[in-house]
Structure 1
Amino acid sequence: MKPFMFRLGTVRAKLTVLVALSSLATLAALPVLSWVMHRQLLAQISERVPQAIRNFRLELRQQQRSISTSARQASRTRELVDGLRLRNEAAVDTALEAVIAAHPNVAIAAFDELGDLVAARGLDAPPASTDEVPGLAEGLANLDEMEDLRDVLVHGCERQQGAPPAYITAQRARGDAGSLLACIPIDHTYFDEAATKLGVEIALVDLSGKRITGTARFPTELLQGASIGDETHPTIVEDASSLWALSRFAPRSLRGKAGDFSIVMALDVSDVRKIVRQNLMLAAGVLTLAALVSLILGARLATTMSRALSRVNVALKQLEQQQYVHVEGVKTGDELEDLAAGFNSMVDGLKERDKLRSTFGKYMTESVLEHLLAGKVQLGGETLTVSILFCDIRSFTTISEKMNAHELVGLLNEYFTEMVAIILDEGGVVDKYIGDAIMAVFGAPVPRPDDAVRAVRAAIRMRAALERFNERLAERGIPALKTGVGIHTGEVVAGNIGSEARMEYTVIGDAVNLASRLESATKELGVSVLLSEDTHRLVSDRFNTRPVSEITVKGRVQPVMTYAVANV
């Protein structure tokens, strides 16, 4: 029993029912739509956290590079070098002014060549010497004049405990006059500024996940017990009143001798539920209204489409009767109008094609026709060196006696399809079919330097394809086919042969006869692919061959040496 839709008698009725069913299906899909909208919105919001991480990394890297450059420039000035050597605090302060002006949030200290403090800016309790800064004295001792020492200090550059961590960069002054230490405090002020720019909450945590510092709104309680995602896959975590997207990452610049730190970014996504609910209610109202409007407009549209399709159908039936008529005017302003215009263009093309084929019907292959239209085929014939391939099914008469005509034609068509596809793929042209045999030419009408190689390669591929074809025949209970292939390379005359009423492009000459004789000899010699000596000479360096024996060919005084392709 046919479904209801297919029992409707007109396109108009089917389209109207289709519009109605589509509207009902859309309304029924609201729960799924709600879930999809929720997931999509969460995914979009979660993408903001990785983007904020990338921006944070970039800004931190640029800030560190800028501070390092400013400090290095200051360490090279004469005023700083002389001030350090003379322990002139005022001169050193003046030299550091440019660094402080460019980076007001940075603390900086200058030490003389013995490592004692000369001057400091931005530090309440600066270290008295480089020995009081963990790892600084040792690092500077192994540092070249133009290199930077970078590290992270757990308690910053202040002498007292409890100070926030700091990122440091240190350089030796010119002429070993001393050194400069620049400190970037990683405190709540630093994170507040970053959070304002990035639109997220930020916290600094140690290896155990304990918060060290961060922004005021950061959900510290979620650091314990919650699984925090990495920088590319944030985790959505819910606390008592809010929903957060959390990601944890560890910038290289926060890894130092005194300890490693990580950054956790949190994005408040608490408004997701509200937004989803509002969008869902809006979608429900819009979909309901759209369903009513679509039913009305769908019925009118179905009438217009049905009329247009009916006109195309009438013209199509006339085309089946070889009546090349145009579709009556279809003015729908959409694809149906394009369809009618395209149909009319197709009719014009078919008329032109029939005219062309009535003129050039004597040419049997599309490739020859293309060359003829391009003026590349000499209609009087030309002498070419080609490789000719004959392929014949052995004992086909015995097989055909066991099959009716319909089955026999189907088998041949299936076999020819397999073989001809390989010949064409290798650049050959099927010259003709002789019963169950195929004659193919490589080198006409367009010769190539490797025609002989293409012909032999086609024969090898045809043998492999025949094995697969026989496997399919065995599954259908049909005996396997056996073929022989003969290939010869020589001169032929290629051109148009026939009568004034009917001509075809083909090749003739002794080379054709020899190729046919080689194919016939494959059975008596017990080989599948047999090559002439002329062909063998051209392909011996490309294929593994072996000599077989000499054969006598009618019309030739000298016998012909033959070769077989090994393992075929």
Structure 2
Amino acid sequence: MKKRESFCISLEVGIATAFITLVLVTSISLSIIISSSVKQTMREDLQKQLHNVVSVGSLLIQGDEFELLVHESQVNSPEYLAIQKKLQEIRDSSLDIRYLYTMRLTSEEKLAFIVDAEDTPGEMSLIGEEYDSPTDLLREIFANPTGSYVENTFHSDQWGTWISGYAPIFNSSGQMVAILGADMSAQKVVEYERSMLVLIFLTSAVVSIIVSLIGMQFSNRITKPLKLLEEDLNRIRRLELDTNLQLHTIFKEVRSVHSSVNNMKKGLRSFKKYVPASLVRQLIDLEKEATLAMERKELTVFFSDIADFTTISEKTPLDKLGNTMVTYLTNLTQIIHKQEGTIDKYIGDSIMAFWGAPLEVKNHALLACEAALECQQFLQDFNAEMSSRGEDVFVTRIGIHTGEILVGNIGAEDRLNYTVIGDPANVASRLEGLNKHYGTLILISEVTQAKVKDVMLTRIVDKAVVKGRNTGLVIYELVDRLDRASREVLEFSETYNQGMEHYFNHRWSLALEHFYICQSLNEADPLVQAMIERCQGLLEAASDQA
């Protein structure tokens, strides 16, 4: 069952989101606090203003005259008009006072209007007209007439938004005979609160946007180097270790990670030199760990060795020999890697390599032959330089064989070696050694030749019994690519191979004719000379028997 992946987001999105969220929460909180503070201050100022109006106004009105006003017909009486005029003066002294009136508590415990500052018929409240919606505060002033009162909340109706205040009116005996009520317009306060709220939120929005952009920039300064490190680590995952990441950051922790990655890269560069890089890449891609295991596969095995290397090493100073071998092995290794081969091991001056594992390649035999030809081509330039310095040249012999072989990890649990085991490896090694006997540089088996004959030019060398095998094996010399060989080389090889066909079929005279033709084309060819001598010997033996 596949493990369910937990939810995750990028670090850049996480930091930016957290920063923006923090800014928004802070901005909204500050907006609410400032708005509430401004709102509370403005309302308190309005309440104080209204409190002062009703407190002073109640003192300017004579309470004795209220006892005379009991019926609505008295609205034109001198007493009513005198009080109304005083109310109008008080109202007009404050621009925000819209309604100013007086009320009393009736014997039925109801509130009724007495004198109203409004004198427009239809709008003014008449004497005795009942007030049908008294608030708790309004009733409180009649129960406890110790001072002026102002409502804590606004109330709205069809004429607008208002706040009301009340103060007791006393007669000359000190008894409360009425209360003075005032309705002050709060519309300006409400509008100001709204505009202030809009301003605060707009300011908060602008600040949030600016701070968010700064936060995103800050987030980018953190995540950009981390993204570069991620890309570098992905390259390391693919064992691409030659890049040198230049990272500029002010953050100490990121610098520390960068330093650790560079140190890891150095270690892996060294590690890569000891194991096949393609094998490690394959294990990484498959998300597997190396274990003791081998499998049977058809591979092509390659062996190389320098002729008379012991003699050369005895005559050459060690430091010079070491430098020369580094150049030699480095170039041959690069050629093998370029042709998708895997270096198995270095055995002194010898190289063992194979094709077809761990990377699957269909044309592994052809790639091995390409590598062998390229190695010999490199050695021509290499030896020319060695010879110009008066140093011994390197004659490198190569053997190649294709067959089924065991390939994989062998060794102990804590120390593995990726290698091949089986007869094909032994045959390739023996073929490399047979070069000395035949005077050749590259020998391949008949199995390998069958896979490359359409591309590579080869010539039959012999049918030999390789050490460790009971059956004979036809061996071939790898000459060149068919599309690269000259016409003379093609004709020479064709004539030679025809001679070998006659030889294998015991037609010694015909074989000898072909070899004489080859000798005329290339007198120095060691195989031609060897086959001439062999055919002459067989003809002489046949003549003696006859």
Q: TM-score range by the shorter chain?
A: 0.3 to 0.5
Work out which of the two has the higher radius of gyration on C-alpha atoms and give 1 or 2: 2
With normalisation by structure 1, the TM-score equals: 0.38
With normalisation by structure 2, the TM-score equals: 0.40
